[in-house]
Structure formats: structure tokens, C-alpha cells
A and B are shown apart, each in its own frame.
Chain A
């Protein structure tokens, strides 16, 4: 089955700096890659996703890049703010639709004021 590895497990940045979280996946058939943000005590929230026919996608301060050849994808957050502090999870889907999501282990992002 699919295996998703996520790095780093913890990340601290100064407010205003950029943060990058990286994930690798094992199954070349995976073609849907969402990112979730989970604040303490709350549900995971979908913040951005990318499909395999696209190399990069941006939404304001958040961007995701995908390298299908290398089987890795990354989340980029620019101009970080304290409210960006949370656990971020990457995931990969084998079928390309909303099923069988395999999650990475998570990254605790702390934005220092």
C-alpha cells in the first residue's frame, strides 16, 4: 500500500519568515495530494490540494508543489503569522478521488512572534 513520509516533525519560524514542509510518497499511481491544518482540539481542515496534472498551486500565502518524478510534494507558507501555528498533515490518494487517503505523520509548526 501507499506510504507517506513527512518532514520535519517540528518546525519553528519567526513571524514573517517562510515555512516549508516536505512529503514523499511511495506509490506512483497516487494522483491527489491534499494538505490539512489541525489546530489543537479541532478537526483537520483542508487548506490546499494538488492533482497530479499540475506542478504548482497557490492560494494567497500558501502554495503546494508536486514533483511526480521524484514522488514528493511540499507545502510552502510565506509571511507566516502566529495563527499559522498548528499541526499540518500531508496525504496522498491512490485513486485520485476522495477515498483511501494515506496521511503523513504531521508537522508541528510554531510561529514565534
Chain B
């Protein structure tokens, strides 16, 4: 399976600021996704990062709050904007192979 890395692994941010999370894959992949995992909860899909076009957002997630870039087939960024304490979560990228989906190590965000 692909090797997936994320930066930063964790961060503490102040309310009202933004955090950009990077996801890097060691091989070209067709599909990349961004998930949120709130403390003690399951995984919720934020959006599908499409190479060369706008991301596809799930219900309840909007581009102004979670802008996503995907400049090539090995890299994507997720920005969480205008942070509030409710944004404190783990954010994970994942990549899709033919069927399987594999996750990056996650970014733990704490908003103070």
C-alpha cells in the first residue's frame, strides 16, 4: 500500500486563525480524501480532493471553511479556516486504490 505522511502531526491554534494540513503520498493515486474524527467519535468525510479541479464537499462542509488544494496526484492540502474550539479534532487524509482506502497518520488540532 502507499506510504502516506501528514504535516503537522499536531498543532495548537488560537481561535480565529487558520491551519493548513499537508498530505503527501509516495506514489500517484487517483483519489484522495479528507476526514475529520472528533474526540471519541467515528470518521466523517469532509471532501474528496480532485486533482486539477475543485474538491467535492459532503453535506455540512463548505469550501470557505475547509478549502482544499490538490495540485498533483501525490499531494493535497486541507485548510481549516476561522478556527473555533469546535474544530478541535483529528484530521486525516486517505488515499484510494482500486477498492481499498488507506489513511495517513492524522493531524491533531487543538483550538484554544
Contact = CB atoms under 8 A, between A and B. Distances in A.
Interface of B: 31, 33, 41-45, 48, 59, 92, 95-106
Contact of A49 (B31, B43, B59, B99): B99
A27 B95 CA distance: 23
Given A103-B42, A105-B42, A96 B101 contact: no
A16 to B, nearest CB: 28
Interface in A95-110: 96-106
Contacts of B106: 43
A93 B94 CA distance: 15
A1 B59 CA distance: 10
B102 A46 contact: yes
A103 B33 contact: no
Contacts of B44: 103
Contacts of A46: 100-102
A98 B48 contact: no
A4 B92 CA distance: 20
